Amino acid sequence: MKWSEVQMDEHSRIIIEEYCRTHKTKKAAMLWDLLQLSYTFECEPDDDYALFMESTIAREKNPELKQALEELDEFLFG
């Protein structure tokens, strides 16, 4: 599935942006990179990012953030 075939809810982007602004962690930095990539479409994320998203989603306790991360994952990796 191509990026143009998938829509990402703007609310999900806002949730992830808020998380990144309020947390100064490696997780937040990587999520910020992926979020920026979702806006620019300059290149496709590599396998390391896919593994990061998979493990991050599996460990996420906040249901709202988890849903937003799942949308980002679907948008970027199909």
Q: pLDDT for 20-29, tens place per residue?
A: 999 999 999 9
What's the CA gap between 57 and 65, in Å, rounded? 9
Residue-level length of the chain = 78
Domain count, the chain: 1
Predicted model pTM: 0.82
- Domain extent for 69: 3-77
Q: Which of 4-8, 13-17, 33-37, 58-62 shows the lowest per-residue confidence on average (mean pLDDT)?
A: 4-8
pLDDT digits (tens, 9 = 90+) for 38-78: 887 666 778 899 999 999 999 999 999 999 999 999 988 88
33, 52 Cβ separation under 8 angstroms = no
